[in-house]
Structures are given as structure tokens and as C-alpha cells.
Amino acid sequence: MAGIEVKEPKIVVRPPGPKAREFIKRDHAVTSPSLTRTAPLVGVEEDGVWIKDIDGNVFLDFSSGIAVTNVGHRHPKVVEAIKRQTEKLMFINSCDFYTLPQVELMERLLEVTPGKFKKRAFLGNSGTEAVEAALKIAQWHTRNYYTISFIGGFHGRTMGSLPLTTTGIDARRHFKGMMPGVFHVPYAYCYRCAFKQSYPDCGLWCVDYIENILLKKVCPPDDLACMVVEPIQGAGGYIVPPDDYLPALDKLCERNNIILVIDEVQSGFCRTGKWFACEHWGVEPDILTASKAMAAGLPIGVAVSRDELMDWGPGAHENTLGGNPVACAAALAVLDVLKSEKLANNAEKVGGYMLDRLREIAEEHELIGDVRGRGMMIGVELVKDRTTKEPARDARDELMKKAFERGLILLGAGASSLRLAPPLILTKDQADVGLDIFEQALKEISE
């Protein structure tokens, strides 16, 4: 399989080049304006950690398409699995019939997801569908619909998952038909504590608030369907909570008989150095949702539930395209690559190196207020002043622009953070190439 033979980004014409500009005009004429575009990248070829645009520029990808291409772009084993499956069977709808790849995938997923208890899975086409399935499982089982979610969380944009999403108001504005009954509480964003506390002196007040205030004065636990939480907030800014936070939420749910749904759509499939991020804290969710990296870019998502919770009958929830055999074949190949190439170990090793170097860079640049992460899920927060912590959104956006012009793809998140999520095949040398560009761009905007 042909590849992109480079060791560093290659900029032949300042992006966006003439072909990219012409294509973007065509796009703007026909595409929904609701799509946000981070950079004027018109990709035509990809390979490993590299993306080539329509003008011949080659970029180093520190985004993985929002943590999707964990095994790298166009991994040969994934491509081969897709080819083999399309030569035999491309589609039989999963709500009426059976396919081998679908059942094989669910068996494998039940093996790698946390918890030794008996589980079942429901396959959909995206992360938001996985969250919707989790909500419906919890509502069916409990006969309740009240839900707890966390400020800064992102769980999708459909009308069931959207009320859980609070990364910003743009996604919520004017949509008045959202699922009702969602209570929002602050996440353990210790750098910007909503309660103006300092960890660990706070004693995890953000958890106590849920139990002592919300559950006693607002929403009785008996009326709750579930709690939905990201183990590491993604679109909120790659926010890593304190080590005792997720276990404390788990114990709170256990004490109050609340179904715990952990959303691993962005943090799953070895991104953080474990199969799933919640494993860092020994938490086994009642329901786990996953998508993004599951099939290396093909549309698929899953809700994995304790067997006893998925007690609904035929027709309660199904779809036509979920569990597509080609997507399932790709997902099976992804699981094989993650295991055989030990990408969780590489994420931990190279990601740890990146964290260390970013913290060294932060010592030289006042614009960086915080560096945090697990594995290759790394957040860098920019601020105008380290004392006031005023977000530096314009500087963040300018840094992304300058990095892109040099051939590095970065993504923003939260108020003024960058999220670094390279493919998990990234080498230390490639990491240095990207971080060198990052530092050059940072110096330019700091001058």
C-alpha cells in the first residue's frame, strides 16, 4: 500500500493553497453552515500520522480526527479487513437478521470493557447514538428519566444526548424539544473550580454537593435513571480529575442505587494508556459508551451494559444500519492492532514524554496556564494571566493557525485549551517534530 514518505511536515504552498481555497468555496455553497471548521484543510491522502492536502502539503496530525484514528490513518490491517468484508457481505440489517462480524465484535468488546460480570452490547453508528442507547437502557430499567450530567461534558447533539452536553450554548440555543429532566453539576475541573475551592483541601466538595444538596433537596435518588460522566472530559478541555474523583462518584452511585454511565467515546480504545480511561481508577461502570476510535473512522458506536440492566424486550430499541458488517470488520481489526502493536503502552510512553516536554515549555511561556493529560490525551490551557487565569481564546486560536501553517494539526477545546490527541502509533521522534512546531508557533504569538 502506497504511503506518504516524509519524516516531517512538507509545506509546498502556504495553506490554504489555491486548490484548497477553490474547494472551500464549493463547500460553502452547498454544506450546512452549522459545521465548525478548525482549519482550511482539504485532505486527499492519509498515511499513519500524516495527512496530505489537495495542494500537496503534508501535515503531522496531532488530532486523529478527534481521537478517531488511534491505530493511525489507513492502517494496512484495517484496510485489508474492510476489503475482505466488502468482497463477501456489505449489509444485512441487524434488527431483522444476523451477521458474523457483528456477533464476533460484541464478544470481543465484552472481553476488553471493564467488569468481569455478564454484559450485553447494543451497536449503533456514532457516539451520540451510543449515549442515546445508554439513556434508554437506564430509563427502561428504572422507569425514570431524571439524569445527572456534568458541566463541561460533551455527549452528543441529538435531542436525547444534547441536554447532557454543556460545553457551550451554541449547540443548545433554540432547541426547546430536548429530553427533559437533566440536572447539571460541576465537574472536578480543579484548575477552574466552580466552587472556588482548592484540591485536596476541598475534600471533593463537588461530589459531596451531589449527595448532600442535589439528592436531598432537588432530585430524590429513587427518581433518577442514571448519572452520565466522562472519565476525562473531552470537548470541555481534556480535563483530568483528581485520582479519587471517579471512585467517589462510583461509591455515591452505589450507595444511592444510581446507574453509572461512563462515556468513553473520546477516551476509549487505549487513548489514555488503558483500554478505557476509567480503568486508571478501577471503576467498572454499569453502562459504558464508546465510538470514535472503534473502527478507525467508519461509523460505529456501542453501549455496553450489565446484563441485568438490558432487560427490555424486542422492539424497544433497534436500528437499521447499526452493526454494519464492514464497520464491524474494521473494528475487529482495530482491536487486533491495538493489542498486537501494544499501542496502550506506546500511548503511555510517548504520551508521558510529551507531557514532560510540554511542562518544560510551559516554564518558559506565561501563556500556558496548565498542562494535563493521560497517555496521548493531553490538554494545554492558555491564559492571559496565570494569577487571574483569564482564558486566552484568541491566542489559542492564533497558535493553532500558526502551527497549521507550519504543518501541524491541532484542535481546540474548552474555553482556551488545546487538545493533543495524535495517533497512538506516534514515535518519540515524531512527537519532537510536532512539539518543535508547537513551540515555534507559541514563540511567534508571544512576541
Q: How far apart are CA 8 and CA 18, in angstroms?
A: 22
Q: Is residue 156 part of a domain?
A: yes
The reported pTM is: 0.96
| Model confidence at 22: pLDDT above 90 | yes
Residue 405: left if φ>0, alpha if ψ -120 to 50, beta else—which one?
A: alpha
Q: How far apart are CA 133 and CA 126, in angstroms?
A: 11
Tell whether 259 and 195 lie within a shared domain. yes
Nearest Cα to 294, choosing from 162, 106, 95, 137?
106
From residue 368, alpha-carbon distances to 66, 254, 385, 420 in Å are 22, 38, 9, 14
| Model confidence at 210: pLDDT above 70 | yes
Tell whether 180 and 267 lie within a shared domain. yes
Tell whether 129 and 272 lie within a shared domain. yes
Q: Is residue 91 part of a domain?
A: yes
| Model confidence at 1: pLDDT above 70 | no
Tell whether 24 and 134 lie within a shared domain. no
Tell whether 296 and 235 lie within a shared domain. yes
C-beta neighbour count of 131 within 10 angstroms: 30
What CATH number is associated with residue 396? 3.90.1150.10
What CATH number is associated with residue 238? 3.40.640.10
From residue 179, alpha-carbon distances to 132, 152, 312 in Å are 10, 18, 20
Last residue within a domain, chosen from 286, 312, 340 = 340
Tell whether 346 and 199 lie within a shared domain. no
Q: Is residue 6 part of a domain?
A: no
Looking at the 3D structure of the chain, how many domains does it have?
A: 2
Compute the half-sphere exposure of residue 216: CA atoms within 13 Å on the CB side of its CA.
7
| Model confidence at 48: pLDDT above 90 | yes
Residue written as grid cell 466552587: 195
Q: Is residue 186 part of a domain?
A: yes
pLDDT at 211: 96
Residue 239, judged by CB atoms within 10 A of its CB (0-12, 13-18, 19+), counts as buried
pLDDT digits (tens, 9 = 90+) for 154-174: 999 999 999 999 998 888 999
Residue 204 banded pLDDT, cuts 50, 70, 90 = very high
pLDDT digits (tens, 9 = 90+) for 403-433: 999 999 999 999 999 999 999 999 999 999 9
Residue 15 in grid coordinates: 495553506
Tell whether 389 and 310 lie within a shared domain. no
Tell whether 149 and 160 lie within a shared domain. yes
Tell whether 303 and 178 lie within a shared domain. yes
Tell whether 331 and 358 lie within a shared domain. no
Tell whether 441 and 417 lie within a shared domain. yes
The whole-number average pLDDT for the span 181-201 is 97
Nearest Cα to 208, choosing from 251, 165, 178?
251
The whole-number average pLDDT for the span 176-187 is 94
Tell whether 292 and 375 lie within a shared domain. no
pLDDT at 177: 86
Last residue within a domain, chosen from 340, 360, 388 = 340
Q: Is residue 163 part of a domain?
A: yes
Residue 375: domain span: 18-61+342-446
Q: How far apart are CA 395 and CA 26, in angstroms?
A: 30
